[in-house]
Amino acid sequence: MARKPANDNPLAPVTLAVGQEDLLLDRAVQEVVAAARAADSDTDVRDLTPDQLQPGTLAELTSPSLFAERKVVVVRNAQDLSADTIKDVKAYFGAPVEEITLVLLHAGGAKGKGLLDAARKAGAREVACPKMTKPADRLAFVRAEFRTSGRSATAEACQALVDAIGSDLRELASAVTQLAADVEGTIDEAVVGRYYTGRAEASSFTVADRAVEGRAAEALEALRWSLATGVAPVMITSALAQGVRAIGKLSSARGGRPADLARELGMPPWKIDRVRQQMRGWTPDGVAVALQAVAEADAGVKGGGDDPEYALEKAVVVIARAARARGAVR
């Protein structure tokens, strides 16, 4: 999990998020933005890639405003900034602007190390976001996720979840959220077993991805494999619902950069790019039909039908057809 100093303040003038774990980097940004908007609901957030932060851009973004508005400036992949822009950023460290929070996301390697060292020397708040390559780190992450959700899970349950899901932190976090929402009382190994034991490469998210892309045959194959290897039907309906809702949200949103849409829709930028690829061929009517199919499948797998597998297969077929409403080429 992301590590922070004991006297942590998300509204410090400069926050340095260091590492290559995308989920933790996104959360580091979200924490700063949430704190800023708690202080001022009109906080302006600018999320920039290295090519968007040219020499002089930072000075423009941090120049004093007549309205003294609070602002968060996020710079992703700061290790890739040009030499001239790095000079601007280093100069800013010496005279940060009140009411502005600068968030630098840095991979932490040798590239751009001078910027990293300068930020640390200037006293930047630092959040460590390393890749979790060790099982013990992922286990600690799962335990922390359950604590954050206010739920109790046994040590055996946490270990079983890590064993079943693997190394993908986003899926581990999603699994904890799902279990916390669906299960009452202490979450134990038996509960995790019912949901995840035997989980194969074809996960519930694979089923959903293939379905919303209009690939009915592949989605059905993934569905049958998932069910055969122990994935809980309720997890598949949840993934289908998330996939269709993401299509609906993005199709009705204003155009713009992934970072802007991510803030508007509450999705990480990487997901915006994926959903943009998946939404070709979808229509508003198709989204409505697909959501109805998901609702019926959800009722079917929760006791409203005699055959949960058939309910899921029917939903997958309806969703895949809806994805091809405009005749998209697959």
pLDDT of 327 reads: 46
Which residues have CB under 8 Å from 235's CB, separation 6+? 178, 195, 196, 204
- What average pLDDT does range 98-117 have in this prediction? 94
pLDDT surpasses 50 at 202: no
| Side-chain-side CA neighbours of residue 236 (13 Å) | 37
Report the side by side order of strands in the sheet with 125-128. 44-48, 71-75, 100-106, 14-18, 125-128
pLDDT surpasses 80 at 46: yes
Distance separating alpha carbons of residues 321 and 22, to the nearest angstrom: 33
Comparing 160 with 163, the larger pLDDT belongs to 160
112-116, 279-283, 323-327: the lowest-pLDDT one: 323-327
pLDDT of 259 reads: 67
The overall average pLDDT reported for the chain is: 86
Distance separating alpha carbons of residues 206 and 236, to the nearest angstrom: 9
pLDDT surpasses 50 at 1: no
pLDDT surpasses 50 at 322: yes
pLDDT confidence band for 193 (50 / 70 / 90): confident
Q: Model's pTM, two decimal places?
A: 0.59
Q: For residue range 110-136, list pLDDT tens digits in order.
A: 999 999 999 999 999 999 999 888 888
Distance separating alpha carbons of residues 232 and 236, to the nearest angstrom: 7
- What average pLDDT does range 173-198 have in this prediction? 85
Residues of 238-276 as b/e, b for ≥16 C-beta within 10 angstroms?
bbbbbbbebbbbbeeeeeeebbbbbbebebbbebbebbe
pLDDT surpasses 90 at 238: no
Taking the CB of residue 56, how many other CB atoms lie within 10 A of it?
Answer: 11
pLDDT of 246 reads: 87
pLDDT of 48 reads: 93
pLDDT confidence band for 28 (50 / 70 / 90): very high
The encoded tokens of residue 212 equal 């919303």
Q: For residue range 50-96, list pLDDT tens digits in order.
A: 999 999 999 999 887 656 678 999 999 999 999 999 999 999 999 99
Q: For residue range 9-25, list pLDDT tens digits in order.
A: 999 999 999 999 989 99
Strand 14-18 and strand 44-48: pairing? unpaired
